[in-house]
Amino acid sequence: MKKWLVPVLSLTLAFSLAGCGKKETAAPAPAAGGDKKEVTLKVGATAVPHAEILEFVKPKLKEQGVNLDIKVFNDYVQPNVQVFEKQLDANFFQHTPYLDQFNKDQKMNLVKVTNVHIEPFGVYSKKIKKLDELKDGATIAIPNDATNGGRALALLEKNGIIKLKDGVGIKGTVKDVVENPKHVKFKELEAAMLPRALGEVDLACINTNYALEAKLVPTKDALAIEGKDSPYVNILVARPDNKDSDAIQKLAKALNTPEVKKFMEDKYQGAVVPAF
């Protein structure tokens, strides 16, 4: 019996020591990471100016334990779809009227986190230098999404090109044009395509982010441009389940700092106006 006892005791002791060894090596691991563990925040954005602004705040967020992973898009649909499907944590590319319409059409519930800036919408041309040079029967390209299309028509009305049905405001469509003295024709295109179509039409109403990408300077090149009182404030967007998370709130605060305001003013020279 004693011969069997010695191996059993030795084996038991070996397991006991091995167990103790695991606890000793595992113990320091939580302390090494602790509360300083970095969080990665995936944010969708259009290239200019949104991704550029995010790149500007990225180092500051890194200091706060947030790694900003910026995904650049060239459309206005996928950034919302991917936030809703949790492939992205947030996005930064759109204004509130567009978000409201998108939520309604797609039965989504994305939410605004904070206001960031306004991009005054502009009318551009490669064929004329002034709007009063517009010829009879001219073709005008406008965005084909409801909110930006209405915004374009409202700007054209403000500058005397057309007249819209009373009361439609920024929600107007080409069907709401009641006076068209120059008999202009409208070409509705995806917003990102408008700068490329500029040489093929007489006028194009272009969102500032796409105008900047095309090396157009809104304050210099636009024949007509919205005022600073535009209701189309660009916003940081997230989901109801993560909008109040620590990382999202750190990003929101970072986008609303005096440093970001100065960055916008210096870099974009009035084409991007801080809205905070």
Task: Spell out the domain ranges in the chain.
Answer: 36-120+231-274, 122-225
Q: How many residues does the chain have?
A: 276
112-142 tens-digit pLDDT = 999 999 998 999 999 999 999 999 999 999 9
Mark the ranges of the chain whose per-residue pLDDT is less than 70.
1-36, 228-229
Q: Which residues of 120-138 are buried (b: 16+ CB within 10 A; e: fewer)?
A: bbbbbbeeeeeeeebeeeb
Do the two domains 36-120+231-274 and 122-225 of this chain adopt the same fold? yes
Residue pair 155/206 in contact (Cβ under 8 Å)? The answer is no
Q: What is the pTM of this model?
A: 0.77
Measuring CA to CA, which residue among 103, 19, 64 is closest to residue 254? 64
In the numeric block, which tokens belong to residue 97? 């009227």
Q: What CATH class has 122-225?
A: alpha beta
pLDDT for the residue numbered 27: 37
CATH number listed for the domain at residues 36-120+231-274: 3.40.190.10
R_g over Cα of the chain: 27
